[in-house]
Amino acid sequence: MTIALIYAEQKRNLSAIETQLEKALKAPHPILHEASLDLLKAGGKRIRPLLTLLTAQYGEPKRPEVICSAVSLELIHMASLVHDDVIDDSDIRRGKPTVKSKWDNRVAMYTGDYMFAKAIEILSTFDSPAAHRIISKVIRDLSIGEINQIRDLYNWKQNLRCYLLRIKRKTAILMALSCQLGALAAGCTYPLSRKLYYYGYFLGMSYQITDDILDFVGDEKQLGKPAGSDLRNGNITLPTYYALKQKELRRSIIDVLESEESSDADWRKVINLIKTSGAVERAANLSRRYLQKAKDILNELPQKKVTRSLQEIADFIGSRNY
């Protein structure tokens, strides 16, 4: 069962989801439509809807609630991407070219709000307070995660727990709940849905750590941004955290983070120091450990065909380099 085959098997469901996403974002408003269309077209791997579809196979995957749940969660993911585009005046002062026109900031915010509302609306077609609690938990955790990220910017004193809690809220919870909601929507028992929650949670932690590694070592063209962008923006991720633990690197990193006048050359130097310090390998190691935990959960699940697919997804996420 390759990853391509998994996608192929879910092709019909995935295109039903795509159609519903389009419908959700189409009708009401030209500006809204325009603002969300690029995002829809960009598509992405739709990894979260795929997880919902797969975990539903432990129950009755044909229940209409399954597609609803997947659409709702993907809308929340998309809304969070739109809100990521809202910037601070501080960003503007730093001269970033993020703002395309003078209305972009507020329009992005309200477009995100609209998408959140649509997510709730779509879910309200089925009668489950548990599902609504899950959705509200996702939005709440996403927003706390982002606020924590803002709070922790440029703070090189933060500890590992800080980082892990942040990526949990920013990324892992949404994957965890995509898995859990798939199972619940398909009528699985709550205990089974909780196991799938943990599978998704560990998967999500590994996924985000890999993302943070790729920000350092990934191909700049594929990333669409210069290497080390996170650090340049003050976002201290796992490789930087590990590098800060090394006495001989610590001072250089702190200096460039604390200075108001760090040049591109200064940043490049520090980013290269981190890349060659072994910190990336340590981070990759932790990512692998989370992935292993995700796979361990699978052993506790009914051994069905879908369990193999979830295994494959984990391997895929472990091996990705973009």
Q: Tell me if 232 sits within 8 A of 223, measured CB to CB.
A: no
Residue 199's Cβ-side half-sphere holds a number of Cα atoms within 13 Å equal to: 32
Residue recorded with tokens 């993911």 = 77
DSSP state of 225: S
Residue recorded with tokens 């292993």 = 292
By the rule CB under 8 A, 312 interacts with a copy of itself: no
Here the tokens at position 275 are 């890349």
By the rule CB under 8 A, 142 interacts with a copy of itself: yes
Q: Tell which one of 52, 56, 70, 116 touches a copy of itself (CB under 8 A).
A: 116
Least gap, CB of 103 to a copy of itself (angstroms): 5
Of the ranges 4-12, 125-133, 170-178, 236-244, which one interacts with a copy of itself (CB under 8 A)?
A: 125-133
Q: Tell which one of 62, 117, 251, 321 touches a copy of itself (CB under 8 A).
A: 117
Residues 70-89 binding a copy of itself (CB under 8 A) are 83, 86-89
Distance of alpha carbon 109 from alpha carbon 104, whole angstroms: 9
Length in residues, the chain: 322
By the rule CB under 8 A, 22 interacts with a copy of itself: no
Nearer to a copy of itself, 172 or 310 (CB): 172
- Among left, alpha and beta (phi > 0; psi -120 to 50; other), residue 44 is left
Residues 86-105 binding a copy of itself (CB under 8 A) are 86-90, 92, 99, 102-105
By the rule CB under 8 A, 148 interacts with a copy of itself: yes
Helical pair 64-84 and 104-123, crossing angle rounded to 10 deg: 160
Of the ranges 132-140, 203-211, 220-228, 249-257, which one interacts with a copy of itself (CB under 8 A)?
A: 132-140
By the rule CB under 8 A, 150 interacts with a copy of itself: yes
Q: Please count the helices (runs of H) and the strands (runs of E) in the chain.
A: 18, 0
Q: Tell which one of 51, 68, 75, 123 touches a copy of itself (CB under 8 A).
A: 123
By the rule CB under 8 A, 146 interacts with a copy of itself: yes
Q: Site mask, a copy of itself, residues 217-236, x = CB under 8 A?
A: --------------------
Least gap, CB of 235 to a copy of itself (angstroms): 13
The answer for residues whose C-beta is within 8 angstroms of residue 116's C-beta and 6 or more apart is: 75, 76, 79, 139
By the rule CB under 8 A, 39 interacts with a copy of itself: no
Burial tier of 105 (Cβ tally within 10 Å: 0-12, 13-18, 19+)? middle
By the rule CB under 8 A, 114 interacts with a copy of itself: yes
By the rule CB under 8 A, 139 interacts with a copy of itself: yes
By the rule CB under 8 A, 126 interacts with a copy of itself: yes
The answer for residues whose C-beta is within 8 angstroms of residue 146's C-beta and 6 or more apart is: 80, 83, 84, 170
By the rule CB under 8 A, 110 interacts with a copy of itself: yes
Distance of alpha carbon 33 from alpha carbon 45, whole angstroms: 21
Nearer to a copy of itself, 142 or 203 (CB): 142
> Distances in Å between the alpha carbon of 103 and those of 111, 115, 250?
12, 18, 41
Q: Tell which one of 120, 217, 223, 254 touches a copy of itself (CB under 8 A).
A: 120
Distance of alpha carbon 185 from alpha carbon 4, whole angstroms: 25
Of the ranges 147-155, 190-198, 234-242, 289-297, which one interacts with a copy of itself (CB under 8 A)?
A: 147-155
Nearer to a copy of itself, 113 or 219 (CB): 113
Q: Tell me if 198 sits within 8 A of 297, measured CB to CB.
A: yes
Interface residue list for a copy of itself (CB under 8 A): 28-29, 31-32, 83, 86-90, 92, 99, 102-107, 109-114, 116-118, 120-121, 123-127, 129, 132-133, 135-140, 142-144, 146-148, 150-151
